[in-house]
Amino acid sequence: MKLLYLSYLNSFKGLSREVWWLALVTLINRAGTMVIPFLSLYLTQDRGFSLEDVGTIMSCFGLGSLAGTWLGGKLTDVIGYYKVMVWSLFLTGLLFIWLQMLESFYAICGGIFVLMVIADSFRPATYVAMNAYSKHENKTRSVTLIRLAINLGFSAGPAIGGVIIASTGYFGLFWIDGITCLLAALLLLLVLNPKKAKELDHVKNESPRSAYKDYPYLLFIGAMVLLGLIFVQYFSTVPLFYSEIKSLSEVSIGLLLAMNGFIIFVFEMPLIKYLETSTLSRASLMILGLAMTTFSFFFLTFGNWNGLLVIGMILMTLGEMITFPFSSAFAMDRSRSGRQGEYMALYNIAFSISHIFAHNGGMVSIANLGYRSTWHLAMIIGVMGILLLYVLRFRLQIRNKT
């Protein structure tokens, strides 16, 4: 146990102080976005909107996220990641406080859209900052640390949000969300000010290329869209499968989903540190991770033993732990020869597109084809993504030889 503990601690060594500060800012920011998990409940119970209205508002949420990610990438290339992060956090804090004052359907649609445009402009800027604050050999683990901060924030946020709603109502939730964003902006000003923070990997391009003309990168983005389409199912349609077909209780479903977060928290950093020293390329590791995620759906297609669901969840989690850090590191490395904000925005947009289509697409597939055929379709989509990554690896190998 002592050796495991020391190995776990050693996996965090070598990361810069700035990356740790960035992780803390991200943790505060993500834990502070407590409104998001309760948004549909707030709109139906507190505001009295119909489910159709809520669906439209959530579409505005997704479109705002997509537009914000694109805008954040553009602004990062023009004014720099630091200004984008500070202004995004500061304005998001004010917008959370303002959002509760909106009452009409169209006002809330517009408010949610504007909020997400500003809030998600933070995402590509964060990746560019992480790239600057990390040594080349530590980039994948830096991504993993930020992912841990995001997971912890998303885990703590809903729990804290539920307590706040029970004690003060939604009114208090909006205020605390706003204040935490403002606090994150203040912390960013204090600890990551360019006069104090040290860049370890400064990239300067006299004639940077566009991400949209980097054809190997576009292959990679296509694979990430396909990955997102199947990955999202584990948090939308798969829980319905657990309940309706496998007759699991809410507690059992919650434990299965919680297992995903627990495995990531305990094992992801040591796993990434180990894989970084392997001879496999990042493209090969992404293929391995996507293959695991794809194969996990196989365990949903047969048998009555519920242990198969546990095996499927573990396999999906391992795939997530491998694919996401190494795909982020691949995108950051690729961005060095181009417009960094544009590259990282396109990487985030890939998953925004997945979120826009995956939830509804999965529900429609289940309604028309049933669960088993939907899981077969998910595996086909996963194989398509693997093939794209094989083509990407082949093109990169040819380029490296010439």
Pick 314 or 332 by higher pLDDT: 314
Alpha-carbon distance of 174 to 93, in angstroms, equals 9
* Most confidently predicted of 20-29, 135-144, 327-336, 386-395: 386-395
Q: What angle do CA 18, 19, 21 make, to 5 degrees?
A: 65
Mean pLDDT score, 30-44: 69
Nearest residue to 30 via CA among 127, 129, 135, 160: 160
Q: What angle do CA 373, 379, 382 make, to 5 degrees?
A: 145
> Which two tokens mark 174?
């909006």
Dihedrals phi, psi of 47, to nearest 5 degrees: -100, -15
Is the per-residue pLDDT at 401 higher than 70? no
> Which two tokens mark 209?
């290329």
Q: Provide the mean pLDDT of the chain.
A: 85
Q: What is the pLDDT of residue 204?
A: 66
Q: What is the pLDDT of residue 205?
A: 63
Residue 385's H or E segment, with its range, is: helix 371-401
Q: What is the pTM of this model?
A: 0.83
| pLDDT tens by residue, 254-303 | 788 778 878 888 888 888 888 988 888 999 999 999 999 999 999 999 87
- Answer whether 192's CB lies under 8 Å from 24's CB: no
- Answer whether 385's CB lies under 8 Å from 226's CB: yes
Mean pLDDT score, 333-361: 84
Alpha-carbon distance of 11 to 312, in angstroms, equals 27
Q: What is the pLDDT of residue 37?
A: 62
Residue 322 confidence class, pLDDT cut points 50, 70, 90: very high
Q: What is the DSSP letter of 301?
A: S
Mean pLDDT score, 208-214: 83
Nearest residue to 286 via CA among 373, 362, 396: 396
DSSP-derived 3-state class of residue 338: strand
| Of 1-10, 59-68, 275-284, minimum mean pLDDT range | 1-10
DSSP-derived 3-state class of residue 312: helix
- Answer whether 58's CB lies under 8 Å from 40's CB: yes
- Residue/partner pairs of 141-144 with CB below 8 Å, 24 or more apart: 141/11, 141/12, 141/14, 141/15, 141/269, 141/272, 141/273, 141/276, 141/325, 142/15, 142/16, 142/19, 143/324, 143/325, 143/328, 143/329, 143/332, 144/268, 144/269, 144/272, 144/325
Q: What is the pLDDT of residue 230?
A: 94
Q: What is the pLDDT of residue 27?
A: 82
| pLDDT tens by residue, 124-151 | 898 888 888 888 777 888 888 888 887 7
Residue 67 neighbours by CB under 8 Å, 6+ apart: 113, 116, 117
Residue 278 neighbours by CB under 8 Å, 6+ apart: 285
Dihedrals phi, psi of 260, to nearest 5 degrees: -55, -50
Q: What angle do CA 130, 136, 140 make, to 5 degrees?
A: 60
Is the per-residue pLDDT at 312 higher than 70? yes
Per-residue exposure over 104-114, b if at least 16 CB sit within 10 Å of its own CB, e if not: eeeebbebbbb
DSSP-derived 3-state class of residue 76: helix
3-state SS record for 154-220: HHHHHHHHHHHHHHHCHHHHHHHHHHHHHHHHHHHHHHCCCCCCCCCCCCCCCCCECHHHCHHHHHH
Q: What angle do CA 260, 7, 12 make, to 5 degrees?
A: 75
> What count of other Cβ atoms lies within 10 Å of the Cβ of residue 400?
8
